Amino acid sequence: MSTRFSKGQKWAFGAGSFAQWFINTAFNIWVFTYYFTVVGLSINWYVLAAVIWTLWNAFNDPFIGYLSDRTHTRWGRRKPYIMIGTIPMLILEIILWLPPTGSQFAIFVYLLIMLICYDTFYTMIALPFDSLFPELYTTVQERSEVNTIKQLLAVVGLLAAALVPGFIVDSNTTSYLLNGIVTSIIVGFSLIIALKWGVKERKEFKLDYQQSFKFFEGVKYSLKNKGFILYTLIFFLYEYVILLLATLVQIFGRQILHASPFQTSIIMGIMYIMGAVSVVLWRWLDVKIGSRKGLALSVVAYFLASLPLMFVDVYEIAVVIAIFMGIGFGGMIYFIYLIIADVIDEDELKSGVRHEGTFFGVTNFFMRLSMILSIVTIGLVFVQSDWEVYDPLVDVTFGLRLLFIVIPGIALGVLLICLYFYPFPKSKVEGIKAKLIELHKEKEKRVNSN
């Protein structure tokens, strides 16, 4: 089982992770900064667009997950969605930076259309990739190996999202457009590699589509699973923290550290590099103590490292802090997509069918709600700071520190409470994997007999 897929296939599959993290992180970091500080869209209009967009995506994600579970084509049930979504997403990454000039309402409508279209096609790519990971790699060893590759390339994607725009972006529309073009080209090549050599589908699961749920049945079924509910809460809080940081990092660097966009990108780059380096440590801990304890350690490490930012306003010191934050950050991105596989594996033992699309779709529904919470949180703090419209002369130091350190710290504390009750210790996971080997042999025999 450990040699089912070649090294080349695993790295090509990881290229999809690079593409996802690069384009979506660049999107999250720069869209708010661009529309708020360059285009001049009011924070109230931006919050409204983000809330409507997120409500759409809350439906869009579970629906695409549902469709992918029930799809049956000669390319498989996940790959067609990646193929369909790629080109439109790359085009939208470019035209996103071409808003109309004039009224606030016209800019708001354009932004809303771009957000809805972009995330619809992004979901068609990201959700099938997420679903394929636990579906393709089912042993502890292979899943750990591929997850390490995925997270290393994800961190490279994060690094690219921080540094590539840092070289290009200035305080004008043209530079953002150029950045969108460069991003689309890089992501396009990565997805071609992933589609050509990395995206495979195992024949054991070829008939699983026949037993997939109807849409609302799947939602109801997933919400009866205690482990899944706890994971969804954990993922919700993780995404909430990540979205707060990604949305605010450039403004935090400008207002608190008095840093240029490129200097702030350097801080992010250092954190991401440390995240990539630390993946080796977290993989070792994963094997030794299991994913649940490993994630808890990474959350604590990240939060403790971030605390000095409550008081620091010196750029050089912030660079040092980023080194230590990167260690915990690397652990969080290593484990967060790994532990849901335990829920899916246990469910397959009980039901005989893999429901990745349904589980990931429902999880993403609640993750989208974290987007609403993050942008509403930012909006409330900005309004209380009299910063409805961007004005660099307004002192929002305390508000930014609150959003960047205190509120994420509270969210991570609640995450740890959920993780304490998460019912998948290392011993239980090992037992599930052993039983799955036999189940998959039986399913392969059924497929071969048809």
pLDDT for position 331:
93
pLDDT for position 355:
77
Q: What tokens were used for 243? A: 């979205």
Kindly tell me if the per-residue pLDDT of 383 is higher than 80. no
Kindly tell me if the per-residue pLDDT of 1 is higher than 50. no
Q: What average pLDDT does this structure show over 57-84?
A: 83
Kindly tell me if the per-residue pLDDT of 121 is higher than 90. yes
Report the alpha-carbon distance of residue 355 to residue 211 in Å, rounded.
10
The more confidently predicted of residues 134 and 96 is 96
Please report the sign of the dihedral spanned by the C-alpha atoms of residue 42, residue 269, residue 337, residue 428. negative
pLDDT for position 2:
43
For 216-229, give one letter per residue: b (16+ CB within 10 A) or e.
eebbebbeebebbb
pLDDT tens digits for range 234-249 = 999 999 998 888 888 8
Mean pLDDT of the chain: 86
Instruction: Confirm if 93 and 28 have CB atoms less than 8 A apart.
Output: no
Q: What average pLDDT does this structure show over 162-186?
A: 85
The more confidently predicted of residues 261 and 45 is 45
The more confidently predicted of residues 300 and 201 is 300
The pLDDT-based confidence of 392 (bands split at 50, 70, 90) is low
Q: What tokens were used for 168? A: 């290009």
pLDDT tens digits for range 283-318 = 899 989 999 999 999 999 999 999 999 999 999 999
Kindly tell me if the per-residue pLDDT of 324 is higher than 80. yes
pLDDT for position 238:
95
Altogether, the residues listed in the chain come to a count of: 450
Q: What average pLDDT does this structure show over 177-183?
A: 91
Kindly tell me if the per-residue pLDDT of 385 is higher than 70. no
Share of the chain above pLDDT 70, in %: 93
Q: Which amino acid is at 396?
A: V
Max CA separation in the chain (angstroms) = 72
Q: What average pLDDT does this structure show over 430-435?
A: 86
Kindly tell me if the per-residue pLDDT of 29 is higher than 50. yes
The pLDDT-based confidence of 409 (bands split at 50, 70, 90) is very high
Question: Hunting for tokens 């998959």 — which residue is that?
Answer: 440
pLDDT for position 159:
82
DSSP letters spanning 249-289: HHHHHHHTS---HHHHHHHHHHHHHHHHHHHHHHHHHHHHH
Report the alpha-carbon distance of residue 338 to residue 321 in Å, rounded.
27
Question: Hunting for tokens 């974290």 — which residue is that?
Answer: 370
316-323's contacts with Cβ under 8 Å and 24+ in sequence apart are 318/257, 318/267, 319/266, 319/267, 319/270, 322/267, 322/268, 322/270, 322/271, 322/274, 323/270, 323/271, 323/274
The pLDDT-based confidence of 113 (bands split at 50, 70, 90) is very high
Tell me the H-state helices in 194-260.
Answer: 215-222, 226-255
